Amino acid sequence: MKTPAHTRRIIDRLETQHPGADTELRYRNAFELLVATILSAQSTDARVNLVTPALFARYPDAKRLAAATAEELEPQIHSTGFFRAKSKAIAGMARMLVARHGGEVPADMDALIALPGVGRKTANVVLGHALGVPGLPVDRHVLRVANRIGLAEGDDAELVERQLGAAIPRARWTLASDLLILHGRRICKPKPLCQQCVVRDDCDYVRALDQERGEKPRRGAHGPRRVRTPRR
């Protein structure tokens, strides 16, 4: 695994490839981002962005959403997939926000993950982007890219969050996650576009391929490592 200093240099370099990296979900406040992030599971941000304007116009806050039934919500979010489970989740989440937090989204990990449909990744997205609390969401893109480069090891999201969090300053956690997600969507796809990648000289995956082919290791290599891409 890379040293913390090397990890930080790699994150800096990724920033040059993806300037202005941010979540691609559209939202105006923490409540909207929380709903949008729940809807984005097993979907795409672009698809979620198509349904949320009408949804937020109809249910502008937790109180209004809490009054809706899951059945009423289903047709409105149908196209995001898993609409029955998501309808139950966002209606239940809104009811709990009203019951426990006066309708406000709490800026606290434990309180967030107690809400229906909210896991650690969703909580970190909302904390980091909408509530000013550093959060490092780890999704399948972060897992894949971080393991390939050698910034982290393992396919357990919480473990990878800890490994990245230990190497990257708290103030850069959210940006680092956004950079790794965008890199995974645009360049380090399941079939990676390594020729277009700004960190290829630092990447364990590329080094392992070079070594398999019997080529000289690239600049920045620190010895062989078997790279396993998580299955998520």
Which pair of structure tokens corresponds to residue 143? 């897992």
Q: How far is the CB of 14 from ligand SF4 (least distance, A)?
A: 9
Q: Which residues bind ligand SF4 (CB under 6 A)?
A: 145, 148-149, 187-188, 192-194, 197, 199-200, 203, 205-206
Q: How far is the CB of 190 from ligand SF4 (least distance, A)?
A: 10
Q: Which residue is catalytic, options 2, 63, 86, 139?
A: 139
Cβ nearer to ligand SF4, comparing 129 with 148: 148
Which pair of structure tokens corresponds to residue 162? 């800890």
Cβ nearer to ligand SF4, comparing 3 with 42: 3
Q: Which residue is catalytic, options 2, 86, 121, 202?
A: 121
Cβ nearer to ligand SF4, comparing 109 with 194: 194
CA separation, residue 4 to residues 25, 113, 179, 205, 231 (Å): 30, 29, 17, 18, 25
Q: How far is the CB of 149 from ligand SF4 (least distance, A)?
A: 5
Cα 133 from Cα 151, distance rounded (Å): 23
Which pair of structure tokens corresponds to residue 192? 């990676």
Provide the 10 A C-beta neighbour count for residue 63: 14
Q: How far is the CB of 48 from ligand SF4 (least distance, A)?
A: 26
Whether 110 is a known active-site residue: answer no
Whether 191 is a known active-site residue: answer no
- CA 133 to mean position of chain CA atoms: 15
Cβ nearer to ligand SF4, comparing 95 with 200: 200
Q: Which residue in this structure is represented by tokens 């795409």?
A: 44
Contacts of 213 (CB under 8 A, 6+ apart): none
Catalytic residues: 121, 139
